């Protein structure tokens, strides 16, 4: 399994697409720039939504109103992060796909997507869902804390890839 993944990475790195990304000097810096701008937009949006769920910030707007304003930024930046991340992966397949931190980052992203979707689906059912009972308000805070911790962990993992498991 590890061997076939390694062979796949070697094959991918030798394709014309990967060679072009590796050899045209501006592609990787531009891709990283877009990745980082999207990280800033996603983190800012998630943090504002999470702080509203905590009741710490933005209390002039309802939870549902805040979510309506900010969730499109979270869902909108994720596909761009996926695309730019895929370009970086095609450029250096072994560095990413054979890296345990990269795999952990992908798992964290899936969990963060699940938490964000749970927050949103409840609001779709009932805009006052998270304020309706004290128990739900407590759950909203747990999910907000989880969301914030997950996105910070994803950023940390993104940086950590450069320092772990280089074959
Ligand atoms: C959605 C799928 C994503 C993929 C496939 C992906 C992939 C990648 C790859 C391949 C790198 C380069 C790592 C390296 O070789 O050093 C990277 C860097 C990074 N990623 Fe992502 N990423 C994704 C989403 C995210 C998200 C959602 C965040 C944070 C909210 C994030 C944060 C970072 C950070 C902080 C870096 C380091 C940037 C740098 O130092 O240049 N990524 N990502």
**158 close to ligand 1 (CB < 6 Angstrom):** yes
Reported confidence tier of residue 116, pLDDT bands at 50, 70, 90: very high
Residue nearest to atom 18 of ligand 1 (CA): 158
- Residue 34 Cα, ligand 1 centroid: separation in angstroms? 11
Over the stretch 141-167, which tens digit does the pLDDT of each residue have?
Answer: 999 999 999 999 999 999 999 999 765
For 58, the domain range is 26-163
User: Does 70 fall in a domain?
Assistant: yes
User: Does 129 fall in a domain?
Assistant: yes
pTM score of the predicted model: 0.92
How many helices and strands, by DSSP H and E, does the chain display? 7, 0
Statement: residue 40 has pLDDT above 60: yes
What value does the mean pLDDT take over residues 37-52? 97
User: Does 91 fall in a domain?
Assistant: yes
Q: How far apart are CA 110 and CA 66, in angstroms?
A: 23
User: Does 34 fall in a domain?
Assistant: yes
- Residue 51 Cα, ligand 1 centroid: separation in angstroms? 24
Number of domains in the chain: 1
User: Does 19 fall in a domain?
Assistant: no
User: Does 10 fall in a domain?
Assistant: no
Residue nearest to atom 11 of ligand 1 (CA): 85
Instruction: Determine whether 79 is exposed, middle or buried from the number of CB atoms within 10 Å of its CB (0-12, 13-18, 19+).
Output: exposed
Residue nearest to atom 6 of ligand 1 (CA): 85
What value does the mean pLDDT take over residues 77-97? 97
Better-predicted residue by pLDDT, 1 or 100: 100
Which positions ≥6 away from 90 have C-beta within 8 Å?
12, 15, 17, 18, 21
User: Does 6 fall in a domain?
Assistant: no
Statement: residue 3 has pLDDT above 80: no
User: Does 128 fall in a domain?
Assistant: yes
**93 close to ligand 1 (CB < 6 Angstrom):** no
Q: Is the dihedral of CA 38, 24, 166, 7 positive or negative?
A: positive
């Amino acid at each position: 399994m590890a061997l076939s993944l390694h062979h796949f990475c070697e094959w991918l790195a030798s394709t014309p697409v990967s060679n072009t990304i590796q050899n045209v000097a501006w592609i990787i810096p531009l891709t990283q720039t877009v990745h980082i701008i999207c990280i800033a937009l996603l983190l800012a949006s998630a943090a504002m939504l999470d702080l509203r769920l905590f009741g710490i910030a933005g209390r002039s707007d309802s939870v549902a109103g805040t979510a309506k304003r900010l969730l499109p930024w979270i869902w909108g930046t994720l596909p761009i992060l996926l695309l730019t991340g895929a370009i970086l992966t095609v450029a250096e397949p072994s560095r990413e796909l054979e890296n345990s931190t990269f795999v952990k980052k992908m798992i964290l992203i899936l969990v963060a997507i699940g938490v964000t979707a749970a927050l949103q689906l409840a609001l779709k059912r009932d805009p006052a869902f998270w304020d309706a009972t004290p128990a739900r308000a407590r759950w909203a805070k747990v999910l907000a804390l989880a969301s914030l911790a997950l996105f910070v962990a994803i950023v940390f993992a993104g940086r950590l890839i450069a320092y772990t498991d280089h074959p």
